[in-house]
Each structure stands twice: as structure tokens, then as C-alpha cells.
Chain A
Amino acid sequence: MVPTPYYLLLAAVLFAIGAGGVMLRRNTLVILMCVELMMNAVNLTFVAFSHELNDMTGQVFVFMIMTVAAVEAAIGLAILVELYRLTRSVNIDEFNSLKG
């Protein structure tokens, strides 16, 4: 039996990797993946707590997060594909036509 804190620690590390990736990477697709990683870290946290507390709410929450994450990924990709058609780039630094 792996103790719950191990899962929480793993989730925290995954979340940090994802957050770091969002801030450091320039490729929009990779950023998208990093956001997904963060969401999945949250899922792991919820499941670990749900197991420890012996309470189903956490797992139901994970269902909702998974659905929303899929929809978000689809929407993000759709917007990115449209933007790629206009700019021929997926580099976040090149999406800079808006300036004050």
C-alpha cells in the first residue's frame, strides 16, 4: 500500500512541471500539453484524497475535470489551427500583433 502523501507529492511535482512548462515553453501545442498535465496532477490529487477520506465526491469531481479537459483541448486546438492558417506559426511569441 503506497501512503497517500506519496501520491500528493507526485501530483505536486507534476503540477509544478506543468506550470513551469506553460511559462517556459514557446510552442503553443506544448503549452497546451502542459496545461493538460496540470489538470491531470489535480485529478491525481483528488483521487488520492478521495481514497484517503473514503468519500466518492473526489472521484466524481475527476469525471467532471476529465470531460472539461477534453473539451478544452478540442477548443484550444481548433483556435490554434485557425490561427496557424493565418500566421503559419505555432510559436506563442509570434502572436504579437496586439500592442498598446
Chain B
Amino acid sequence: MPADYLPILIMLVVAALFALVALIVPYYMGPRNPSTSKSDTYESGKLPFGTARRQVPIHYYMVAMLFMMFDIEVIFFYPWAVIFRQLKIFGLIEMGVFVAILLVGYVYIWKKGALEWD
């Protein structure tokens, strides 16, 4: 029923209002003294150097690729988790097989040194 979603709508409106208020109020109330260091790029308190576009070690690619593959496998856990109780022991065994195959891949990349950082 659409009416059931009313609390969610109210929450969305409240959240949006809060964000707006938090932005607008300091804009009018707070003092403003801009200076060079204040309007500089925020870099966790450190002085920024160079441009953001520079070469990245190839190793990041490796980690990104591995992450992508293991990350996407989680997609199969969600539907499984929803009906886990109804599937009983069969579901557990099936997922055990799935994870075991993933583990073979994990052992492989580990032993091949893809996770070493130097």
C-alpha cells in the first residue's frame, strides 16, 4: 500500500530540511574572513602538492580487479540470505560449495603474491 510508505516520505523530507537548514543558517549567521590558506584545497591539514592526475602504481589495478571480482560475488549471497532459513541444510551446503570455489581463487592470488605490497 502506498500509505505504508508515508513514514519514509516524512523521514526523507525531514532529512532534506535538516540539511538545508544546516547549510543556510551558518551562511547568514557566521563571520567570514577568507584567506589563502583557508580557501586552499582541503588535504587533511597537509599542504597540497602537485596535481591530482598522476601515474598510479600498476599494483592498484591488481587490487582493484581482485576487489571487483570478489565484491560482485556477494550478489549471490543476498537472495540466498533472504531464504536461508527455508532452504535448511541444503542451502548451507550449496553456499559452502560456492565459497569453497571462491577460496580456491583466494588461495591462488595469495600464494601468487598479488596481495603483497612491495
Contacts and interface: CB of A to CB of B under 8 A. Distances in A.
Interface of A: 63, 66-67, 70-71, 73-74, 77-78, 81
Contacts of B68: 70, 73-74
A67 B65 contact: no
Contacts of A63: 75-76, 79
Given A81-B58, A81-B61, A74 B75 contact: no
B72 A67 contact: yes
B94 interface: no
Contacts of B66: 74
Nearest to A74: B65
A72 B118 CA distance: 27
A67 B73 contact: yes
A70 B69 contact: yes
A77 B63 CA distance: 12
B73 A78 contact: no
A84 B76 CA distance: 34
